[in-house]
């Protein structure tokens, strides 16, 4: 019978009796394979026998039962905190929020100063809880099971609280965030009569979004006696250095007339310099650009209020990826 071939290991459909299933398994490849399963991230905490707080990062958390309310996790037998968790009558989970990756990194490393500088609230039995987490579950030990090189610990939930925060995700060796899957959740679909004819097309949506965002910033530019084309030229020169007019015109994506007007005004104000049709930003131009960018950032925060910080950053990443793809294309 043919088997299924995976990277680094051949796994038969059926293993005969007495045959070791682990003999040919590459631990590193197995870890990478398990990493395909996205999990939340928790910090598990307890009090040691001497009363000292103990904590470690774990993504082995799982729900077991609602009646009775049971959850489980597993602790490496070689971990420094193994003895404390194995003996703890009480322990708690702080399910980390999307902006708490630093806490995950801190509690995943060995050391005795993990709690230094971390905001903590005391739970039942004085078990420490990470403040501002997405959720907390406080447990008493219900049972333990042999899990090979780990001890599986089942806890009975005595108290829990859910906060309205997005949870932190870990997958393929990297942190991630929870985002709605397109087309599955979100605002209810509008009636056909309420839909814009281009609602399902990316380019018109980008254009409409740009118009809305820039319109909000245009009043700021007007108050500063500046224009969008001027700011665009300054930004490109600041990033690229001295640039000839033909290249600068192409990169600004302006019309010939708009480009010429903006270039002439910047030259007259001393914000750019010109040598043989090659433009360069001046120190005054850099200062001016810095002021405009600060105001643009403030306006962006106000204009994107319908999105949370994670959604804004995700949008930036996707647009950067799209731009890099087209700029690198032959």
pLDDT at 53 exceeding the cut of 90? yes
Q: Please report whether residue 241 resides in a domain.
A: yes
Domain edge (last residue) among 147, 177, 207: 177
Q: Is residue 149 part of a domain?
A: yes
268 & 237 share domain: yes
Q: What is the pLDDT of residues 239-291, one digit of tens each?
A: 999 999 999 999 998 999 999 999 999 999 999 999 888 999 999 999 999 99
Report pLDDT digits (tens) over 136-182. Answer: 999 999 999 999 999 999 999 999 999 988 899 988 888 887 776 66
Provide the pLDDT confidence category of residue 129 given band limits of 50, 70 and 90: very high
How many folded domains does the chain comprise? 2
Q: SS in 3 state form for the chain?
A: CCCEEECCEEECCCCCCCCCCCCCCCHHHHHHHHCCCCEECEEEEEECCCCCEEEEEECCCEEEEECCEEEEEEEECCCCCHHHHHHCCEEEEEECECCCHHHHHHHCCCCCCCCCCCCEEECHHHCEEECCCCEEEEEEEEEEEEECCEEEEEEEEEEEEECCCCEEEEECCEEEECCCCCCCCCCCCCCHHHCCCCCCCHHHHHHHHHHHHHHHHHHHHHHCCCCHHHHHHHHHHHHHCCEEHHHHHHHHCCCHHHHHHHHHHHHHCCCEEEECCEEEECHHHHHHHHHHHHHHHHHHHHHCCCCCHHHHHHHHHHHHHHHHHHHHCC
Pairwise pLDDT comparison (192 vs 202), residue with the higher score: 202
- Using pLDDT thresholds of 50, 70 and 90, give the confidence band for residue 21: low
Top pLDDT among 6 and 311 is at: 311
- Domain match, 108 and 145 both: yes
Higher pLDDT, 180 or 127: 127
What pLDDT shows up at residue 15? Answer: 42
pLDDT at 182: 62
228 with 286, same domain: the answer is yes
Residues 167 and 81 in one domain: yes
Q: What is the mean pLDDT of the chain?
A: 85
Could you tell me if 118 and 224 lie in one domain? no
Mean pLDDT of the 87-101 span: 94
Residue span of the structural domain in which 162 resides? 39-177
**Domain identity same for 259 and 316:** yes
């Amino acid at each position: 019978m043919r088997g299924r071939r995976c990277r680094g290991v051949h796994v038969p459909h059926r293993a005969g009796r007495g045959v070791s299933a682990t003999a040919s398994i590459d631990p590193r490849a197995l870890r990478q394979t398990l990493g395909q399963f996205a999990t939340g991230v928790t910090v598990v905490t307890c009090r040691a026998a001497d009363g000292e707080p103990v904590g470690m990062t774990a993504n082995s958390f799982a729900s077991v039962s609602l009646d009775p309310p049971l959850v489980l996790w597993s602790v490496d037998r070689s971990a420094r905190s193994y003895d404390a968790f194995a003996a703890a009558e009480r322990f708690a989970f702080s399910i980390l929020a999307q902006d708490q990756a630093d806490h995950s990194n801190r509690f995943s490393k060995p050391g005795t100063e993990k709690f230094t500088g971390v905001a903590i609230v005391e739970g039942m039995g004085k078990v420490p809880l990470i403040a501002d987490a997405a959720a907390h579950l406080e447990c008493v030990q219900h049972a333990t099971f042999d899990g090979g090189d780990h001890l599986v610990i089942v806890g009975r939930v005595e108290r829990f609280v859910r906060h309205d925060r997005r949870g932190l995700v870990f997958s393929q060796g990297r942190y991630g965030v929870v985002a709605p899957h397109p087309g599955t959740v979100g605002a209810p679909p509008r009636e056909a009569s309420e839909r814009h004819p281009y609602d399902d097309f990316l380019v018109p949506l980008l254009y409409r979004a740009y118009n809305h965002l820039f319109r909000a910033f245009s009043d700021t530019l007007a108050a500063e006696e500046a224009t969008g084309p001027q700011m665009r030229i300054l930004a490109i020169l600041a990033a690229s250095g001295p640039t000839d007019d033909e290249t600068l015109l192409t990169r600004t994506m302006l019309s010939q007339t708009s480009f010429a007007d903006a270039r002439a005004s910047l030259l007259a104000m001393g914000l750019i310099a010109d040598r043989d049709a090659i433009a360069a930003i001046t120190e005054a131009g850099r200062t001016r650009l810095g002021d405009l960018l600060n105001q643009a950032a403030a306006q962006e925060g106000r204009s994107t209020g319908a999105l949370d910080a994670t959604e804004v950053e995700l949008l930036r990443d996707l647009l950067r990826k799209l731009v890099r793809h087209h700029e690198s294309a032959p």
